[in-house]
Chains A and B, each alone.
Chain A
Amino acid sequence: METFEEFVKRILTILFWLIIVLPIIIFPILFLVVGLLGIDVIIVNEILTAAIDPLKAIKLAERYGLGFSSTFFKIAVFPGFTFAALIATFTILYERKLLAKVQLRVGPLYAGRFEGILQPIADLFKLLGKELVVPEKADKMFFWAAPILSIGLAASLLSVIPLSPTIYIARSEFSLLIPFAILGFSPLVVLIAAWASSNKFAFIGGLRALHQLAAYEIPMLLSILGIVILTGSFDLMKIVEAQKDIWFIFPQFLAAIIFYITILSELERIPFDLPEAETEIVSGWLTEYTGMHFGLLQLGVYMKFYALALLFTLLFLGGWNGPAFLPPIVWLLGKLFFVITIIIFPRAVLPRLRMDQLIRIGWAWLIALSFINIFIAVIESSLGII
């Protein structure tokens, strides 16, 4: 049996020998071929030196319009996909450690020297090494489409959510509404995954997810209407600017609670994890997914987690507003960490709801409470509190 550290050691050894062998054997052959074919040697030289020199790589990228300020970099790396995926993997590790500490276990411990800090990387390699099993009776096209759609939707949620006055991918006048419009697709992805698996557990899980997502989308949208009434804008930038003096969690406390409960339900977390209740229906609509398919679905769910936690921070906790001795992005990430913690926490202590309780809470309580919240917002704005 190879432990994870031995595995890393083996990879590093291979890399070391590759670096020794490259200049002695492969580079001369490469330049010989390039010279014989008559390609400009300088370009090849530039690409090869950029491969080992990060500064030159940055310059080369900037020359071809892929630098730090380009749209491609924004979408693919910093406020966009890679950053979100890193936060999502961090969330998975943090969730496992936090739940373990609450329940007096140790959680991930061995990968990495300190408290299992390399566990997400080990999990990634494990998932990459697993076989992709597609059931014989499954609808192949839909079965493959579901993981890709899941991660695509989760990533496109982030397209209009700003991280600070200067760090954003795209600005829109309706940046509050666009994420909710994209969230409307998520029942469709669950339906595709559940139906394509042609498995009874998956199908029951998919039906439960449809019920749940349809019931909780309406109070989610209604609960933010109070903030729209108070600020008179759908622009997240303006909403955060309006919270300079007072965070909206104080005048809109009811809305914050409703939004928090609907986040738990949209992410199918305990106590709302009926679609994947593992003690009843194996793993719900994820039952038939293996290997990297499962990894992509899971990453999609956790990127959605990041996007919704970010929305909660921007709407109720004042976003990047804070004393000026720290840059705005640090304030935002600190608040985001707090929100992620309170979203994870119920999983450690609460049991699962029954289906009838879930439906009653969604349709009877949350929608009525969010209408009451709209009246509160109207009264506050006419009294001139905000």
Chain B
Amino acid sequence: MTDVVFLVVSLLTVFFAILALESRELVYGAVALSLSFLGVAGLFILLDSLYIAIFQVLVYIGSIAILIVFVIMLVRRDKWANVTSGNERILGIIAAVLLFSTMTYFSLSSSLTSQYPNPAAISDFYEIGSQLINDYWLILQLTGLALAVSIVGALTMAKFENR
């Protein structure tokens, strides 16, 4: 049963991801992208981590997909670069294959090999919070710093554009 659900959800995710890239109409692309994010959330639910699935929906569909829609609607159509020339397409495919193969290699060679992980160990949000604060505090701080820098950069760019 789980395998059938997994197959359907992952096929839908990949289908909508391809649709998001290939659709001529940009709004179709945005809706397909958010449905693809929803499929990823479904995969998280299958892995017994409802907490992460909820935040996948909240952050990726509630914020990121909506921000992409903003950009689509506010920027004119003719400003979009038309990426159809052969070289760039081939380069993109090569980069995607390289990324996919390295990620597959490292995840298969890591210790995360069992198909069904222990559900009790994952879904506890106390555990996630304490690990973020106690063990990975440096990464948390660096992420915050990167976000602050990018906000300052965006503000500066907006200010120079207005002049």
Contact = CB atoms under 8 A, between A and B. Distances in A.
A266 to B, nearest CB: 12
Given A174-B54, A207-B73, A195 B27 contact: yes
Nearest to B38: A185
Given A188-B61, A210-B69, A174 B50 contact: yes
Interface string B12-47: 000000000000000100110010000000000000
B70 interface: yes
Given A184-B61, A210-B69, A234-B125, 15 more contacts: A172-B50, A174-B50, A181-B58, A184-B62, A184-B63, A185-B61, A187-B66, A191-B69, A210-B66, A210-B73, A213-B66, A214-B63, A214-B67, A214-B70, A217-B62
Interface string A179-218: 0111111011001100100000000000100100110010
Contacts of A188: 31, 34, 61, 65-66, 69
Nearest to B69: A191
B57 interface: yes
Interface string A228-254: 000000100000000000000000000
Contacts of A174: 50-51, 54
A177 interface: yes
Nearest to B60: A184
Interface in B118-135: 123, 125
Contact of A181 (B30, B31, B54): B54
A183 B66 CA distance: 13
A181 B62 contact: yes
A178 B45 CA distance: 13
A60 interface: no
23 contacts: A172-B50, A173-B123, A174-B54, A177-B51, A177-B58, A181-B54, A181-B58, A181-B62, A184-B57, A184-B61, A184-B62, A185-B61, A188-B65, A191-B27, A191-B69, A192-B27, A192-B31, A195-B27, A210-B73, A214-B66, A214-B70, A217-B63, A234-B125
Interface of B: 27, 30-31, 34, 50-51, 54, 57-58, 61-63, 65-67, 69-70, 73, 123, 125
Chain A interface mostly: helix
Interface of A: 172-174, 177-178, 180-185, 187-188, 191-192, 195, 207, 210, 213-214, 217, 221, 234
Contacts of B61: 184-185, 188
Nearest to A185: B61
Nearest to B51: A174
Pairs of residues from A and B, 10 with the lowest C-beta to C-beta distance, nearest first:
A184-B62, A181-B57, A177-B54, A181-B54, A181-B58, A195-B27, A187-B66, A184-B61, A214-B66, A184-B58
Nearest to B53: A181
Nearest to B25: A139
Q: Of residues B62, B66, B73, which shows the largest number of chain A Cβ atoms within 10 Å of its Cβ?
A: B62
Contacts of A182: 57
B127 to A, nearest CB: 13
B58 A180 contact: yes
A184 B67 CA distance: 12
Contacts of B57: 181-182, 184
A95 B74 CA distance: 36
Contacts of B51: 174, 177
A204 to B, nearest CB: 11
A192 B73 CA distance: 12
A184 B27 CA distance: 17
A173 B27 contact: no
Q: Of residues B34, B51, B54, B70, which shows the largest number of chain A Cβ atoms within 10 Å of its Cβ?
A: B54
A234 B129 CA distance: 14
Contacts of B58: 177, 180-181, 184, 221
A214 B30 CA distance: 16
A221 B63 CA distance: 12
Contacts of B65: 188
A178 B54 contact: yes
A178 B54 CA distance: 7
A174 B128 CA distance: 15
B19 to A, nearest CB: 13
